[in-house]
Amino acid sequence: MTTSAEVRLPRQTKGKRPHFFDDPSIDQMMTFLLELTTEVGVLRERLDTVERLLDSKGSVTRAAIEAYQPDPAVEQERAAWRDAYLKRVLRMHAPE
């Protein structure tokens, strides 16, 4: 049996995947788009951490980025940014 240190959990879900678009490639493209949207948010948050560390300490290291713990006010600011960001990125056309 696999040792606990070697476990790699499955990333694929068992069960039929629904298609919401006529062309299933669009369903696949939506996954790409949402993963990419997420990664831009991750990158932005990392930059935000760097800026905050520079503001408070004047220097930055990878270890400091890893150790950074946002306080509730920063968390709230970041949540508001994510919300506004998604509202921009996921802007829907008016129904025809």
Site map 25..44 versus other proteins, x via CB under 8 A = --x--xx--xx-xxx-xx--
Nearest Cα neighbor of 52 from 38, 39, 69, 36 is 69
Cβ–Cβ under 8 Å, residues 78 and 70? yes
> CB neighbours of 64 closer than 8 A, spacing ≥ 6?
53, 57
Nearest Cα neighbor of 31 from 14, 19, 46 is 19
Nearest Cα neighbor of 37 from 4, 96, 86 is 86
Q: Is 13 in the site for other proteins (CB under 8 A)?
A: yes
Q: Is 71 in the site for other proteins (CB under 8 A)?
A: no
In the complex, what is the shortest distance from the CB of residue 59 to other proteins, in angstroms, rounded to a whole number? Answer: 17
The only residue of 51, 61, 75, 77 in contact with other proteins, by rule CB under 8 A: 75
Q: Is 58 in the site for other proteins (CB under 8 A)?
A: no
- Give 56 or 87: the residue with its C-beta nearer to other proteins: 87
In the complex, what is the shortest distance from the CB of residue 58 to other proteins, in angstroms, rounded to a whole number? Answer: 20
| Residue 80 token pair | 């508001």
What is the total count of residues that contact other proteins (CB under 8 A)? Answer: 47
